[in-house]
Amino acid sequence: MLLTDVHAHLDLEEFYSDLDAVIERAQKAGVKAIISNGLNPESNRKTLELSKRYPLIKPALGLYPDDAVKLTEKQIKDELNFIEKNKDKIIAIGEVGLDYKYCKKKQEQEKQKQIFIKLIKLSKKINKPIIVHSRKAESDVIDLLKNSNAKKVILHCFSGNLKLVKIAEDISYSFSIPTNITYSQHFQKLAEIVDINQILTETDSPYLSPYKNKRNEPSFIIETIKKIAEIKNISINETSNNIFMNYQKVFSID
């Protein structure tokens, strides 16, 4: 089985005590790559260190919107320089984007947008895919990506309406579908209507577990594959092979 988890957070404390075992279970399940996404300066550095310890972990460095707005202009500039400096060590820029769930003030939303635009420009400059968060801000995210002419875009856990899904699909963005597709009608519908060639798989570990009251981890990615295979009415092997090829294409893996 060829499995990929394009969005996880293995640097978080939920994995401090047993990461060796988590990685071992992922390998046994057939996971060939786990993209661990940085959230802030500290998280980015931890993610890079983990990628040195575990070849299975592919690092993405970014600024999560809620974290980004807390930084000064100098801190943001320094972190963008840090990401650019480490461009040859990373597979993507992520996790970045917009999140309006707790950010109601227009001034803070505008700051999120300005930081996001800078990260989009950086992804184009260093020619890396960009992994995008878009909670309660899906329309603005699509608009900014379109206006910035972003190319290799992965929409993580995209919860926008079907009209926005169609717009993003037509621009050739990819959708990474999480393991909670096992019970989420929205992600089931997303898997149904989006072309298989634009689908990737993720866990968002330690979040969005397919199992109630259980921490998520990359080995559970098989549950996403099973559900997509069921929805698309194709075999599990065909599903996993197709999505693995999508991963290779989007992230330029030989």
Cis peptide before 217 (omega within 30 of 0): no
Which tokens in the block code for residue 51? 């990628």
Query: What does the pLDDT read at residue 254?
Result: 67
Percent of the chain with pLDDT strictly greater than 70: 100
Q: What is the pLDDT of residue 107?
A: 87
CB atoms within 10 A of CB 138: 22
Q: Which is nearest to 115 in space by CA: 146, 138, 139, 148?
A: 148
The pair of structure tokens assigned to 2 is 């060829």
Q: CA 243 to CA 96: how far, in whole Å?
A: 23
Provide the number of structural domains found in the chain.
Answer: 1
How does pLDDT run across 139-157, given as a tens digit for each residue?
999 999 999 999 899 999 9
Its domain, for residue 229, covers 3-250
Quote the percentage of the chain above a pLDDT of 90. 94
Residue 201, pLDDT above cutoff 80: yes
Peptide bond just before 206 cis, omega within 30 deg:
yes
Question: What b/e sequence results for 159-182 when a residue is b if at least 16 CB atoms lie within 10 Å of its CB, and e otherwise?
Answer: ebeeebbebbbeeebbbbbbbbbb
Q: Report the CATH number that the domain containing residue 176 is assigned in CATH.
A: 3.20.20.140
Which amino acid, one-letter code, is at 17?
Answer: S
CB 22 within 8 A of CB 218: yes
Residues 64-75: pLDDT tens digits? 999 999 999 999
